[in-house]
A and B are shown apart, each in its own frame.
Chain A
Amino acid sequence: MADQVYFEDVSEGDEIPNLKKNCSTQQLVLWAAGSGDFYQIHYDKDFAQSTGLKDIIVHGALKNAFLGQLLHDWAGAKGNVKKFGCDYRGMDDAKQDIDCRGVVTKKYQDGGENLVELDIWTENPDGKKTTPGTGLVALPARA
């Protein structure tokens, strides 16, 4: 985890540090257990192909959780992830790079909190945003 980021350090348009993922089949099985989503298209190639897919695919909710990690790690110990989520627009294959990214779209104060809105997404090796979403993070202030 990086050093604590403060509200004053953030500007609209800033890109936050990205998070690189690449899901092994073992990670997809771990996620099945961790999330309780045991749908076989995520770990059984024969089953996945019987539904018309060419291979197993990464769970949409796992990519969403990656975006949760992206924001949690950026917010640091004194920050707080208040909202995050995404649409599952494109499929990602296992054993392929997933780049989790975020850009600050708005910063403001409300109810005594220093709030930052972000566009967040996962990107496949072709540069396609497979899970576009948004986040809301509260950050500490230096002052």
Chain B
Amino acid sequence: MTQQAESVITDEMRAIIGKEGAATTLEVENGGCRMFARSVGHTDPIFYDEDAAKAAGHRGIVAPPGYLGTPVFNPSRGERSPAETAGSGYSIPYKRVLNGGTDYEYLDTVCAGDLLTARTKITDFAERTGSIGPMLITSRQTTFTNQDGKVVAKMQGRTIQY
């Protein structure tokens, strides 16, 4: 007889669904756009050259798909940004972590010179048993707002703990 594994989702965890964590500031600059584009292997000059980007109708060098700025590094806070740790003030029995996937939605173009504010909330906890055993899937949504107060992008991320 098989026994259903006990849920690791607690009332404390359910209570934080939908609550936004601390805001993170992300700088979108020429060098960051170029470095990201180069690391992917992009060939479109709008990701590298300001004149080419402006000739194509953009305000400045365009942030390549998936690049939403670089968090302002704070040595007293360490390696991880609040976006990665949002709502992690609870404990679960799984030690290992996998990145389950990411989806981006663009509501406007992001260009070098933009200053983005990211706010992340947990949108769902789900449990599943797969080839790696029982796992907890945490879904988060991060909203990116630019310096004019406009929401320019949303990111949905899924983290797997097992």
Which residues of A are at the interface with B, using a C-beta cutoff of 8 A? 1, 21, 27, 30-31, 33-36, 38, 60-62, 64-66, 68-69, 71-73, 77, 80-88, 131, 133-134
Contacts and interface: CB of A to CB of B under 8 A. Distances in A.
Nearest to B37: A34
A30 B71 CA distance: 17
Nearest to A68: B65
B102 interface: yes
A86 B40 contact: no
Nearest to B109: A80
B56 A77 contact: yes
A36 B68 CA distance: 11
A100 to B, nearest CB: 11
Contacts of A31: 39-40
A88 B98 CA distance: 9
Interface string B66-105: 1100110000000100000000000000000011111111
B35 interface: yes
Q: Residue among B79, B102, B105 with the most chain A CB within 10 A?
A: B102
8 contacts: A33-B35, A34-B32, A34-B67, A65-B66, A69-B65, A82-B106, A85-B102, A134-B103
Given A33-B39, A68-B65, A84-B103, 18 more contacts: A21-B41, A27-B41, A34-B37, A34-B39, A35-B39, A60-B101, A62-B39, A64-B66, A64-B101, A65-B36, A65-B65, A65-B66, A66-B41, A69-B41, A69-B65, A72-B44, A84-B104, A131-B101
Contact of A68 (B32, B35, B64, B70): B64
Nearest to A51: B96
B156 interface: yes
A35 B36 contact: yes
A25 to B, nearest CB: 13
Contacts of B103: 83-86, 133-134
Interface string B46-75: 000000000010000000111100110000
Contact of B106 (A81, A131, A133): A81
B38 interface: yes
B43 A30 contact: no
